[in-house]
Amino acid sequence: MKPRRWNPDTVAPPLGRYSHLAEVPPGHRLVFLAGQLGVAPNGTLADGAEAQGRQIFANVEALLTAEGAGPEHLVKLLTLVAGTEHLAGYRAAQAEAFAKWFPDQDFPAQTLAVVAALAGPGYAVEVEAIAAVPA
């Protein structure tokens, strides 16, 4: 069983790739993923927002796999983008990952915020996540 995600018709439709509501089904435990940056396992930072986004989604998938879960178990994402100039690159990476992860467009809840900066120089995007993993 995966999380229930939906958009009631009592509010405006989502403006992007997300659902307004996500519900954790019985028999699941919440797993919190720390904010992921576009850093490869060898410690190198990807170049540019799109490449960082691709690496971030690869990191999220690897962390979910380590928990015996997958993207279908995501209930909430928080995305921070360091400046509007990085939005297009991030959105391209997200579109690519989400096309693979959510072909039925059953997206998790998500918040996207544009911020002045992230934790260090060169970081364009950071994504943290919450997943509902079968117990």
Contact 34, 121 (CB under 8 A): no
Separation CA 96–CA 27 (nearest Å): 31
Per-residue pLDDT in tens (0 to 9) along the chain, 135 residues: 789 999 999 999 999 999 999 999 999 999 999 999 999 999 999 999 999 999 999 999 999 999 999 999 999 999 999 999 999 999 999 999 999 999 999 999 999 999 999 999 999 999 999 999 999
Is residue 36 classed as helix, strand or coil in its secondary structure? Answer: strand
